[in-house]
């Protein structure tokens, strides 16, 4: 039974769908199509938010697993509908907390996870069968996914019931972030192994979140963000096909991750253009027939790079506009940044306000009353065409170089992003680009602010936990399972099966990554001047 249309404050009905054939809509053009139908310009689902709002995720993780667990419980109690895990830098790079290279970084930008015990504490009291979890982890993504599966199994949750996303997008690490471990080819093999493993073992899991967010944070403009992200997506599809998988066997579990900036109209157009381009790539370029394979489903995070340490409360306004752009653009899930993130890790109050921002949009505005509110807007439809044209030019340049991996090895994407970042910084420094509170509308008397700080003793505590773990576990079992992992890495077997056995034997994240480093080596970037 269809839901009754919502009513405007003035009393008239808000139609759930406007456009060609709707009771009150003007003809928006046949090219637009309908929501939930190819080319998905107007959204990947027919009803979008008129049935239920997007998934409200809050990205969190700091210090120890126990501290992060407490924050997750607060977010769930406050109405959050999905978790998003931030890992510290040593975990992202595949090092244990007591490794020399981890010194000074343990628990700083995310939670420290050294093994299955830490993962169990991280989700203690949170039934994994009833929550969707996104994990921002790339080079060691397979390890953290398997640790999550092991914790779920210990809770009695069948792998088939687990839902969520692992970022697993290593190509953008070579372009924008730098938290890579292995060279590109074995990294792509690991991605394909995750695809195959999840199809067989964790079928509801999104196996990759192909990310433009971090390229945008490094300085990419909207067209570059979409072009470089979709080019990476093509590389992952080709890798899976080369590994013998059929496109409709893995493509429905692909997902994407974009930024939402304060330039609301262009951001809405960007999301629409990205859906339309990807649908054509998958249907016409790769022969995907399953409609789910043609859908560009994406998570959005508001633009951390646009937040300012000056007058941090103004960031509440920025985040609201950015979140509105993501919602009007048709995101499937959303994380809103805390207003204090330009200073330090968000405080509990800031995290709560960030979640409340989404809830106001979902439950107090009328943007969820109708599907695709901007359809037929002259400005948005024109901007969508403009963004699409610019994206296609950049994607053609990447294809001319042999695809995303070859272009990465030449430094093409990185160089383009750096030029854009330099231009934006010059415009900001000159005052041509206004940043409120930074180069205009400054305040000489700002109120003092007390940010959240991570206790430096966390590093020593994690080291003690690791020492106790190594003393209590079976050293023989760890050695046997790591040897099996090395043999699989040196051959063609799926490495996730022996990797899971090693992690179940209480091998650490660092030990598993070291075993793979010994077989595959590490990536050494070539600087080009």
Query: Which residues touch 128 (CB under 8 Å, ≥6 apart)?
Result: 148, 151, 152, 155, 157, 162
So what's the pLDDT on residue 28? 42
| 18 domain residue, yes or no | no
So what's the pLDDT on residue 1? 47
User: 351 and 285 in one domain?
Assistant: yes
Q: What are the backbone angles phi and psi of residue 87, rounded to the nearest 5°?
A: -105, 150
Q: What is the CATH number of the domain that holds 185?
A: 3.20.20.240
User: 258 and 124 in one domain?
Assistant: yes
Categorize the per-residue pLDDT at 486 as very low, low, confident or very high, splitting at 50, 70 and 90: very high
User: 253 and 163 in one domain?
Assistant: yes
Categorize the per-residue pLDDT at 10 as very low, low, confident or very high, splitting at 50, 70 and 90: low
Give the pair of three-digit tokens for residue 403: 């695809």
Q: What is the mean pLDDT of the segment spanning 396-407?
A: 97
Categorize the per-residue pLDDT at 24 as very low, low, confident or very high, splitting at 50, 70 and 90: very low
| 59 domain residue, yes or no | yes
Q: What are the backbone angles phi and psi of residue 142, rounded to the nearest 5°?
A: -60, -40
Which of 11-15, 55-59, 341-345, 362-366 comes out lowest in average pLDDT? Answer: 11-15
Q: What is the mean pLDDT of the segment spanning 348-373?
A: 95
| 251 domain residue, yes or no | yes
Cis omega (within 30 of 0) on the bond before 39?
yes
So what's the pLDDT on residue 49? 96
Each as own residue / partner, the long-range contacts of residues 449-456 (CB below 8 Å, 24 or more positions apart, any chain) are 449/312, 449/340, 449/343, 451/340, 451/343, 451/344, 451/345, 451/347, 452/62, 452/340, 452/344, 452/345, 452/346, 452/347, 453/344, 453/345, 454/62, 454/63, 454/107, 454/108, 454/345, 455/63
User: 320 and 238 in one domain?
Assistant: yes
Q: Which residue bears the tokens 């959050």?
A: 80
User: 172 and 117 in one domain?
Assistant: yes
Q: How would you write 454-478 as a 3-class SS string?
A: CCCCHHHHHHHHHHHHHHHCCHHHH
Q: What is the mean pLDDT of the segment spanning 179-188?
A: 96
Q: What is the pairing mode between strands 82-86 and 298-302? A: unpaired
User: 493 and 392 in one domain?
Assistant: no
So what's the pLDDT on residue 15? 81
| 299 domain residue, yes or no | yes
User: 168 and 72 in one domain?
Assistant: yes
In this predicted model, which residue has the larger pLDDT, 512 or 458? 512
Give the pair of three-digit tokens for residue 67: 């501290």
Residue 110's nearest CA partner among 131, 124, 92, 97 is 92
Given its phi and psi angles, is residue 226 left (phi above 0), alpha (psi -120 to 50 degrees) or beta?
alpha
Give the pair of three-digit tokens for residue 143: 């390890």
Q: What is the mean pLDDT of the segment spanning 233-246?
A: 96
Q: Which residue bears the tokens 């937040």?
A: 307
Domain count, the chain: 2
| pLDDT of 117 higher than 70 | yes
User: 487 and 419 in one domain?
Assistant: no
Categorize the per-residue pLDDT at 431 as very low, low, confident or very high, splitting at 50, 70 and 90: very high
> What does pTM read for this prediction?
0.91
So what's the pLDDT on residue 526? 65
Query: Which residues touch 32 (CB under 8 Å, ≥6 apart)?
Result: 19, 20, 41, 42, 375, 376, 381
| pLDDT of 66 higher than 90 | yes
Cite the DSSP H helix spans in 222-287: 222-242, 247-250, 264-280
So what's the pLDDT on residue 129? 94
Residue that is last in its domain, among 409, 430, 451: 430
So what's the pLDDT on residue 303? 97
User: 504 and 416 in one domain?
Assistant: no
Give the pair of three-digit tokens for residue 202: 């964790």
Q: Taking the alpha carbons of 124, 128, 132, 133 in that order, is the dihedral positive or negative?
A: positive
User: 235 and 89 in one domain?
Assistant: yes
User: 487 and 416 in one domain?
Assistant: no
| pLDDT of 30 higher than 70 | no
User: 479 and 349 in one domain?
Assistant: no
Residue that is last in its domain, among 374, 401, 430: 430
Residue 267's nearest CA partner among 317, 221, 316 is 221
Give the pair of three-digit tokens for residue 435: 């940043």
So what's the pLDDT on residue 20? 61
Q: Which domain holds residue 513?
A: 473-519
Residue 301's nearest CA partner among 369, 230, 225, 373 is 225
| 176 domain residue, yes or no | yes
Residue that is last in its domain, among 395, 415, 430: 430
Helix axes 222-242, 184-201, angle to 10 degrees: 70
* Residue 254, strand partner residues: 208
Give the pair of three-digit tokens for residue 377: 């807007």
* Beta-sheet strand order (sheet of 132-136): 205-206, 163-166, 132-136, 82-86, 55-60, 333-335, 298-302, 254-260, 208-211
| 467 domain residue, yes or no | no
Length reported for the chain: 529
| 296 domain residue, yes or no | yes
Which of 295-299, 349-353, 469-473 comes out lowest in average pLDDT? Answer: 349-353
| pLDDT of 528 higher than 50 | yes
For the chain, the average pLDDT equals: 92
| 83 domain residue, yes or no | yes
So what's the pLDDT on residue 25? 40
CA atoms within a 13 Å half-sphere pointing along the CA-CB vector of 34: 10
């Amino acid at each position: 039974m269809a839901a009754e249309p919502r009513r405007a404050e003035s009393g008239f009905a808000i139609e759930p769908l406007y456009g060609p054939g709707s009771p009150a809509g003007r003809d928006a053009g046949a090219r637009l199509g309908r929501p939930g139908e190819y080319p998905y310009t107007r959204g990947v689902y027919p009803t979008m938010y008129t049935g239920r709002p997007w998934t409200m995720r809050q990205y969190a993780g700091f210090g120890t697993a126990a501290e992060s667990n407490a924050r997750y419980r607060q977010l769930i109690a406050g109405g959050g509908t999905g978790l998003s895990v931030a890992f510290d830098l040593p975990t992202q790079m595949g090092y244990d907390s007591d490794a020399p290279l981890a010194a000074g970084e343990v628990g700083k930008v995310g939670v420290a996870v050294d093994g299955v015990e830490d993962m169990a504490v991280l989700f203690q009291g949170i039934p994994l069968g009833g929550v969707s979890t996104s994990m921002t982890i790339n080079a060691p993504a397979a390890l953290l996914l398997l640790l999550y599966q092991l914790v779920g199994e210990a809770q009695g949750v069948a792998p088939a019931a687990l839902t969520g996303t692992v970022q697993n997008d290593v190509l953008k690490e070579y372009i924008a972030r730098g938290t890579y471990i292995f060279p590109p080819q074995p990294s792509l093999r690991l991605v394909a192994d995750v695809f195959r493993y999840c199809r067989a073992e964790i079928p509801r899991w999104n196996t990759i979140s192909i990310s433009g967010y971090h390229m945008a944070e490094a300085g990419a403009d909207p067209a570059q963000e979409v072009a470089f992200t979709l080019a990476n997506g093509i590389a992952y599809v080709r890798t899976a096909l080369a590994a013998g998988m059929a496109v409709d066997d893995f493509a429905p579990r692909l997902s994407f991750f974009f930024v939402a900036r304060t330039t609301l109209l262009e951001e809405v157009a960007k999301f629409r253009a990205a859906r339309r381009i990807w649908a054509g790539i998958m249907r016409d370029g790769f022969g995907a027939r399953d409609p789910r394979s043609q859908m560009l489903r994406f998570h959005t995070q508001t633009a951390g790079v646009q937040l300012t340490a000056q007058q941090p409360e103004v960031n509440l306004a920025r985040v609201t506009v950015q979140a509105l752009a993501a919602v009007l653009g048709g995101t499937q899930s959303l994380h809103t940044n805390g207003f204090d993130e330009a200073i330090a890790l968000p405080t509990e109050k800031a995290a709560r306000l960030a979640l409340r921002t989404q809830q106001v949009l979902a439950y107090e505005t009328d943007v969820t009353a109708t599907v695709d509110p901007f359809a037929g807007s002259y400005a948005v439809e024109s901007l969508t065409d403009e963004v699409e044209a610019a994206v296609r030019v950049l994607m053609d340049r990447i294809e001319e170089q042999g695809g995303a991996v070859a272009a990465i090895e030449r430094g093409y994407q990185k160089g383009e992003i750096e030029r854009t970042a330099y231009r934006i910084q010059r415009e900001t420094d000159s005052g041509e680009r206004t940043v409120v509170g930074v180069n205009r509308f400054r305040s000489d008397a700002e109120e003092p602010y007390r940010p959240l700080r991570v206790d430096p003793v966390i590093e020593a505590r994690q080291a003690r936990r690791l020492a106790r773990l190594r003393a209590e576990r079976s050293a023989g079992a760890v050695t046997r399972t790591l040897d099996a992992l090395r043999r699989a890495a040196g051959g063609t077997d799926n490495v996730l099966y022996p990797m899971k056995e090693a992690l179940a034997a209480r091998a650490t994240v660092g030990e598993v990554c070291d075993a793979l480093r010994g077989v595959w080596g590490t990536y050494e970037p070539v600087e080009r001047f």
